[in-house]
Amino acid sequence: MQIPLTHSSIATRQHRYSQVAQHIERQVSSGGLIAGSRILGERELAKALGVSRVTLRRALCELRDRGILVSGEAKGWYVAPPSVNEHNVLRGFSEMAAARGLGSDSKVVGHKVRVASFEEAQLLRLAADSQVFELERVRYLSGEALGIETSIIPLQRVPGLPGIDFAKHSLYTALREAGAGPAVADYVLSASQATARQARLLDGEIGAALLATNAIARDLNGTPVELSRTFFRGDRYRFLTTLKAEQR
């Protein structure tokens, strides 16, 4: 279904494409255009806004790069589904969503107590044959599947984890209540492609772009409390950080 934009005059001075982008963004933020809806075709939209198709295309591409619109190639342009722009602040998924006024849900697809692998024991500073609690969840944002998250926790730090329903409760809250709250994390991002299982869990396509993250979280004393690996849908997740020039 196509939803037209409310017409308003677009200034004819320089940076016209930015004004067009701002106009469309306001329509999205005000609810005039809802997530998943298709906007007018480029020819009709350019005519309605009184700009050239070149100017319009530049504005649409800017909104796509910012995650506000998505392009369906020959199918046209659509309002992007809900997404998360995660800043470099360490907090749980539900906390991150709540900070943006978005609803979040989790589906537990696997959990077990097992012996840590050699690599896990090293990273978590555990003795050989130590037990860990492994939790795998699909994370949802406003009803849309966003990522598949696997967390590995030293069981000796929080022995009560296996008895908690993590479809309803926050893992980070449970860790804090046990005195093992994450305070800092090393975070590595890389590109990946969806396997058949990942595509099924994320309601996506096999081979679709994913953003893979690996993290080691530590408490205030610097003791590792969690290893995590998450595969996020590339069209619904962005990580924002600030880079500073080196002091000379």
pLDDT tens for the chain, 248 residues: list them: 344 454 444 444 447 878 888 888 888 777 777 777 788 888 888 888 888 888 888 888 878 776 778 775 566 888 876 655 444 555 566 666 555 566 668 899 999 999 999 999 999 999 989 999 999 999 988 788 989 999 999 999 999 999 999 988 889 889 988 888 888 888 888 999 999 999 999 999 999 999 999 999 998 888 999 999 999 998 877 666 666 666 66
In contact, 5 and 49? CB cutoff 8 Å? yes
Angstrom CA distances, 13 to 23, 42, 51, 150, stand at: 15, 21, 11, 51
Which token pair is 168?
A: 């309803």
pLDDT number for residue 241: 64
In contact, 142 and 102? CB cutoff 8 Å? yes
Alpha-carbon distance 83 to 236, whole Å?
4
CB contact set of 86 (below 8 Å; sequence gap of 6+): 96, 237, 238, 239, 240
Neighbours of 158 (CB within 10 A): 20
Adjacent-strand bridge partners of 239: 86
Alpha-carbon distance 67 to 149, whole Å?
22
In contact, 69 and 78? CB cutoff 8 Å? yes
Strand stretches in 35-76, DSSP E: 38-39, 69-71
Q: What is the dihedral of CA 77, 80, 81, 87, to 10 degrees?
A: 170
Instruction: Report the SS3 class of residue 86.
Output: strand
pLDDT number for residue 121: 95
Instruction: Report the SS3 class of residue 3.
Output: strand
Angstrom CA distances, 34 to 21, 25, 203, 221, stand at: 16, 11, 20, 46
DSSP letter, residue 74: G
Alpha-carbon distance 144 to 198, whole Å?
14
Sheet holding 209-218, edge to edge: 104-115, 131-141, 144-154, 224-233, 209-218, 184-193
Alpha-carbon distance 61 to 82, whole Å?
18
Alpha-carbon distance 125 to 123, whole Å?
6
pLDDT number for residue 9: 46
Q: Which residue has the tokens 């004393």?
A: 221
Taking the complete model, does pTM exceed 0.85, yes or no?
A: no
pLDDT number for residue 96: 60
pLDDT number for residue 162: 94
